[in-house]
Structure 1
Amino acid sequence: MARILVAEDESAIAEFIRRALTAAGHQATVAADGAAAWRLALAEDFDLLLSDVRMPVMDGVALALALGADRPDLPVLLMTGFASERERADDLAGFVSGVLQKPFSMADLLAAVAAALSARNA
């Protein structure tokens, strides 16, 4: 199906996402921070970036902005559990495909990923 880059610094959440995406037939690559995800996104071809907003080194908003300049063809789906971070993410409507509110279920995750991927292919 799709190659998805996951930027998430909490290992338990990253593993949940990786397993859910893999079970749905996607290939998931996990990066522990925004800078590592940015390097991977420039070096490899991904169909979607799924990124936490709050991370060390480079947060998800900075990552979305950097990739908007370097890889404008790569859709970005952000995740956050913080209301203030959601407001920051919502301000990036031109750069992101959506914002997934934490905590989320596997069904919520897969629906958001499907929507972001279908918007890319539209």
Structure 2
Amino acid sequence: MAAILLAEDDESMRAFLKRALERAGHVVVDAGQGDEALSELQLREFDLLLTDIVMPVMDGIELARRAADIDPAMKIMFITGFAAVALNPANRTPQEAKVLSKPFHLRDLVDEVDRLIAA
């Protein structure tokens, strides 16, 4: 079981992902924007930040950078339809961050999360 912070601006997608991760035994705190997720990071510790890239106010890349500053040991995974953006070195994404490209099956998400947490 891992403590996961899920940042996703699409409300239905966020609820869907949260439910799947909770069914897999994880504790999930969700946020609809990057700045809301940053506030959660300052309140408690998480094993994993699972974030979309394109969000209002603060995007997932900036959120990941700030999260890595707050807790360098926290794992980071991007869920996005824009994998090339996350992988672009000019964006200065945390080096160990993983990317799961949309669309994906929930089983793939849970498997990737479990692998990343176990690593």
Structure 1 length-normalised TM? 0.88
What residue ranges of structure 1 are gaps of 5+ in the alignment? none
Task: Show the counterpart of 2:95.
Answer: 94
Task: Show the counterpart of 2:25.
Answer: 25
Q: Which amino acid aligns with 2:31?
A: A
Task: Show the counterpart of 2:38.
Answer: 38
Task: Show the counterpart of 1:116.
Answer: 116
Deviation at 1:88, TM superposition (A): 2.5
- Equivalent-residue separation in structure 2 for 1:108 and 1:6 (angstroms): 16
Deviation at 1:73, TM superposition (A): 1.5
- Equivalent-residue separation in structure 2 for 1:62 and 1:88 (angstroms): 12
Instruction: State the identity as a percent.
Output: 39
What residue ranges of structure 2 are gaps of 5+ in the alignment? none
Q: Which amino acid aligns with 2:12?
A: A
Whether the 8 Å CA contact 1:47–1:75 is kept in 2: the answer is yes
Q: How many residues align?
A: 115
Q: Does 1:62 align with 2:62?
A: yes
Task: Show the counterpart of 2:77.
Answer: 77
Report Cα offsets for 1:26-67 as digits up to 9, x if no partner.
111110011110110121111111000100111000011111
Of 2-11 and 63-72, the range deviating more from structure 2? 63-72
